[in-house]
Amino acid sequence: MFSDDEHDPEGSTASMDQVRDTALLATVRRTLAELLAARERLDAGAYGVCESCGRPIAPERLEARPGARTCVACAARR
C-alpha cells in the first residue's frame, strides 16, 4: 500500500498548499467582512455598543476582536 505521493511528491505538496491557501483566504474574507461591518457601525455611531443588550463592549474585547458585535456576557450566552 504505497500512495502516489512517493512517485509525485511535488504534486502532493502543491495540492496541500492549495488547501491551506483556500482556508487562509476564507479566514481573511471573513475578517474583512467583520471589519467592514464594524466600520459601518462606526459611521453610524453604533460601534462598541452591544447589538444584543445595548451596553458598551469592553475596550479589551474590541482590541482583541475589532469586529465584535456583542459584549462578553451576550457572546457567552450564545
Whether residue 50 contacts residue 41, with contact meaning beta carbons closer than 8 Å, is answered with no
- For Zn ion (CB under 5 A), the number of binding residues is 5
The verdict on 71 binding Zn ion (CB under 5 A) reads yes
Nearest to 51 by CA among 11, 15, 78: 78
The verdict on 72 binding Zn ion (CB under 5 A) reads no
The verdict on 68 binding Zn ion (CB under 5 A) reads no
- Compute the least distance from the CB of residue 73 to Zn ion, in Å: 5
- The DSSP 8-state label assigned to residue 55 in this structure reads P
The verdict on 75 binding Zn ion (CB under 5 A) reads no
What is residue 49's three-state secondary structure? strand
Q: How many CB atoms lie within 10 A of CB 11?
A: 11
- Compute the least distance from the CB of residue 54 to Zn ion, in Å: 7
- Compute the least distance from the CB of residue 23 to Zn ion, in Å: 31
